[in-house]
Amino acid sequence: MPEGAGSGSRGAWFPSWFWPSFAAPATIWLLLLFVLPFFVILAIAFGRVDPIFLTPSPVYNPLRWDAGPFRDVLSQIFTSGSVYQSDFLHTLAFVFAATALCLVIGYPVAYFIARHAGRFRTLFLVAFIAPFWISYMMRMLAWINLLQPNGYVNRILSGLGLANTQAPIQWLNGKPLTVILGLTYGYVPYMILPLFGVLDRIPSSTLEAARDLGAGQVTTFLRVTLPLSGQGILAGIVIVSLPMFGDYFTQTLLAGTRNTAMIGNLIVSSIQSSLVQTGASLVLILLVLLILPMLYYLRATSKATELVAR
Amino acid sequence: MQSSGSNWDLIVSVTLENVGKLAFGSLIQPLNKSYIPNFANVWKVFQNPFYDVNAQFTAPYTVYTTGITWRNDVVTEDIPAMDNPYDILWDPKYAGQVHLLNGSRDTLAAALLRMGADVNTSDPNVLDQAKQMLLDGVETMNWKFDHTDYSELGTFDIHQAWSGQVAYYQYYLPKGLPITAFSYVWPPKAAGKKPGIITNDVFAIPKGAKNPVLAHAMIDYLLDPSNSAVNYAYEGYQPPLTSITPESILADELVPKNLSNILITEEDFPLGVQELELAPAVNQLYQQIYQDVTGGA
């Protein structure tokens, strides 16, 4: 057999480039849909602005890039009281709270479906995936009706004696809690699925062994199930939190005030005005911010894979 | 339009501040009035408007004022009788219940008009004062910034609003909320006679439009009074045609009687101020102030 050639399971011969070529579609996709657009964003952030129309004039030669506007935006983020800093802080707070809520709500759901749903498991899984069939924006629009002053949420709360019909809770008038709950509602299915995948793969024999060794249900959960589902928790947190950082229309639809504005709102507002360079700079800064947790996730997953391989 | 070329044959609702830029940048083409015989139906003020001499490039589409609307069953103040109606937008009694329009020109206009300043000012000191007034208001009032107020009826007590939006309200009322619960005032017609914005949107045809004759025909179609009236019933923004008067609009019940003051006549234009084109650097300053005030919300 020629050196370096691949060999199929039944002795078929493949050229050396055959198996690596399977990566070609993904590589082309990555180049066209990520690397190239990313370069355009760089060209805009470090480019020029048309003096009449105030539209961006991208500069594609890195040697002619002007970092001044980018530095201005970066310095604003570290300036106390600036709108950039407040939007970043709102975003961090909302994403942290919503992700934590997604985990608190999603973990028991995933656990139930994986370990206790029995013959109804598929039905429950379909029920929890069903929200994916409706666009995210439509689901948020539905909440506007529910959260109106005379909406069903206030009516239920009034019925329970937790709200006053004469002075209903104004859920849609700039409450951070509304934004957090909206984000949680929108993204919790993305937490349930990876958790389900991991919890479902924990062998029952492992849990039985723990009980055989004298561990009660709680101890088994805390010392066996929870650690084994660590990768699922990490994956769920990453899948849920990353898109939340760029989310803008949850806040726009459910709040729309300055004290709830997120960095996604600032980016959209910049791009829709003559401040496109600001928007591009914010995109770059957000990207760098999100690379750090992504790198941690990749490192944690690769360490876990190494442990399993040993 | 600059980046994607002329994918459209007709642009609708171009605001006045963009007309000059579009013409200067050769992005729109002159109109051939021989294809628009119904142009004779428009108000005299638009036959030769200041922003487009002899109406070479544009035809008027709608007229509207920017005023204040409120829930008269909740708000106790007599806003039309106030010396400065814009003060109500800053009244802490209604904190959390006041919405402002979301646009750099309209949001800043609320502060500039309250100060009695020019809505087209380029004076950095004046703009700085307006910015500070808005930042103080954001702090105390927690304004929501939007222009889809018709879909949020019931969530605000007071709204800086366009007259055309108010015309929609009757179709989006929450259960149990009658249209008579809403009132509107345009400050130049209130007791204090404070300045207020009045303006119009226009049609224009992009240069390089693939079907320019059809575009002209569409403009002509919409300047026909009977077609325009039908469009008005959907649009809510009043067309500036001589045969469509406030009396005819009320007779056709297109606007509720309690909101008849959203209707405009040609004689109202000298009473108001218009948002004009700003120099690029000033325009950018307005947008930066807007962003600093709203945080992008």
Residue B135 lies in a domain: yes
Are residue B84 and residue B131 in the same domain, yes or no? yes
What's the pLDDT band for B187 if we cut at 50, 70, 90?
very high
Q: Is A257 on the interface with B (CB under 8 A)?
A: yes
Closest Cα of chain B to A97: distance in Å? 20
**Taking every pair of C-alpha atoms in chain A, what is the biggest distance, in angstroms?**
85
Q: Are residues B148 and B165 in the same domain?
A: yes
- B190 and B212 in a single domain? The answer is no
pLDDT of residue A73: 93
Position B6 scores a pLDDT of 62
Instruction: Kindly report which listed range (B12-26, B95-109, B252-266) carries the lowest average pLDDT score.
Output: B12-26
B118-172 per-position pLDDT tens digit:
999 999 999 999 999 999 999 999 999 988 766 778 889 999 999 999 998 999 8
* Chain B interface test: which of A50, A55, A257, A283 (most B C-beta within 10 Å): A257
Residue A124 has pLDDT above 50, yes or no: yes
- Decide if B171 is inside a domain: yes
Which residue type occupies B203? F
CB interface of A with B, residues 161-180, below 8 Å: 170, 172-174
Q: How far does A199 lie from chain B, in Å, by closest CA?
A: 40
Residue A304 lies in a domain: no
Residues in B closer than 8 angstroms to A255, CB to CB, are: 144, 297
DSSP lists the bridge partners of residue B42 as: B241
First vs last C-alpha separation in chain B:
25
Picking from A53, A149, A258, the nearest residue to B297 by CB comes out as A258
Which residue in the set B151, B176, B292 is minimally distant from A150, CB to CB? B176
Q: Are residue B85 and residue B37 in the same domain, yes or no?
A: no
What is the domain count for chain A? 1
Global pTM?
0.86
CATH number at residue A110: 1.10.3720.10
What's the mean per-residue pLDDT of chain B? 93
Q: Is the predicted pLDDT of residue A4 greater than 50, yes or no? A: no
Full domain range(s) for residue A271? 87-275
Strands B28-29 and A13-14: unpaired
Residue A171 lies in a domain: yes
Q: Which residue of A has its CA nearest to B153?
A: A148
Query: Is residue B53 located within the same domain as residue B95?
Result: no
Which residues does chain B have within 8 Å of residue A149's beta carbon, measured at their own beta carbons? 154-155
- Which domain does B145 fall in, by range? 65-197+273-294
- Mean pLDDT for the stretch of residues B20-28: 90
B243 pLDDT tier (thresholds 50, 70, 90):
very high
Contact B132, B150 (CB under 8 A): no
Does residue A39 lie within any of the structural domains? no
Chain A environment of B21 (Cβ under 8 Å): 52-53
Q: CB distance from A246 to chain B under 8 Å?
A: no
Q: How far is B160 from chain A (nearest CA, A)?
A: 15
CA quadruple B52, B53, B59, B61: dihedral sign: positive
B280 touches chain A (CB under 8 A): yes
Confidence of residue A213 (pLDDT cuts 50, 70, 90): confident
> A77 to chain B, minimum CA–CA distance in Å?
12
Q: Does B290 touch chain A (CB under 8 A)?
A: yes
Angle at B125 between CA B120 and CA B128, to 5 degrees: 85
DSSP B297: -
**More confident position, A141 or B46:** B46
- In the predicted model, what is the mean pLDDT of chain A? 88
CATH no. for residue B25? 3.40.190.10
| Residues of chain A positioned with their CB less than 8 A from the CB of B151 | 144
Does B223 have pLDDT greater than 90? yes
CB contact under 8 A, A170 and B151: no
ipTM of this complex: 0.81
Predicted pLDDT at A260: 94
- B positions 182-221 inside 8 Å of A (CB): none
Assess if residue B6 is contained within a domain: no
A275 touches chain B (CB under 8 A): yes
Distance from CA of B85 to the nearest CA of A (A): 23
The total number of structural domains in chain B stands at 2
In this structure, is residue B257 part of a structural domain?
yes
In this structure, are B147 and B221 located in the same domain? no
Half-sphere exposure in the Cβ direction for A70 (13 Å, CA): 17
Are both B204 and B188 inside the same structural domain? Answer: no
* Residue A83 sits at the chain B interface (C-beta within 8 Å): yes
- Determine which helix (DSSP H) or strand (DSSP E) holds B257, and give its type and residue range: none
Report d(CA A143, CA B172) in Å as an integer.
Answer: 17
Q: At which residue do the structure tokens 């957090």 appear?
A: A180
Question: Do A56 and A226 touch, CB atoms closer than 8 A?
Answer: no
Spell out which residues of chain B touch residue A262, defining contact as CB-CB under 8 Å: 296
- In tens, the pLDDT along A35-45 reads 999 999 999 99
- Cβ–Cβ of B297/A52 closer than 8 Å? no
Average pLDDT over residues A93-109: 96
What residues of chain B lie within 8 A of the CB of A252, using their CB?
Answer: 297
What does the CA dihedral B246, B249, B250, B256 come to, rounded to 10 degrees? -110
Query: How far is Cα B183 from Cα A271, in angstroms, rounded to an integer?
Result: 35
A293, part of any domain: no
pLDDT in tens, B38-81: 999 999 999 999 999 999 999 999 999 999 999 999 999 999 99
Q: Among the ranges A9-18, A202-211, B2-11, B121-130, which has the highest mean pLDDT value?
A: B121-130
The reply to whether B99 and B187 lie within a common domain is yes
Q: Which residues of A touch B140 (CB under 8 A)?
A: none
Domain shared by B180 and B78, yes or no: yes
Instruction: Spell B260-274 as b/e; 16+ CB within 10 A means b.
Output: ebbbbeeebbeebbe
B25 inside 8 A of chain A by CB: yes
Best B73, B291, B292, B293 residue to mutate vs chain A (most A CBs within 10 Å):
B291
Indicate whether B179 and B205 sit together in one domain. no
At A182-202, the pLDDT tens digits run 999 999 999 999 999 999 998
Work out the average pLDDT over A287-299: 86
Q: Is residue B74 domain-shared with residue B184, that is, in the same domain?
A: yes
Q: Are the beta carbons of A53 and B280 separated by less than 8 Å? A: yes
CB B186 within 8 A of CB B196: yes
DSSP codes, chain A: --TT-EE-TTS-EE-TTTTGGGGHHHHHHHIIIIIHHHHHHHHHHTSEE-TTT--EE----GGG---HHHHHHHHHHTSTT-HHHHHHHHHHHHHHHHHHHHHHHHHHHHHHHHHT-GGGHHHHHHHHHGGGGS-HHHHHHHHHHHTSTTSHHHHHHHHTTSSBTTB---TTTT-HHHHHHHHHHHHHHHHHHHHHHHHHHS-HHHHHHHHHTT--HHHHIIIIIHHHTHHHHHHHHHHHHHHHHH--HHHHHHT-BGGG--HHHHHHHHHTTT-HHHHHHHHHHHHHHHHHHHHHHHHHHHHHHHHHH-
Contacts of A265 in chain B (CB under 8 A): 295-297
Optimal mutation site among A44, A153, A173, A267, interface B, most CBs of chain B within 10 A: A173
For A53, which of B2, B144, B290 is closest by C-beta distance?
A: B2
Closest CA to B259 of B246, B269, B272: B246
Chain A residues with CB-CB distance to B288 below 8 A: 275
Q: Are residues B85 and B43 in the same domain?
A: no
Q: Quick check: B152 contacting A, CB < 8 Å?
A: yes
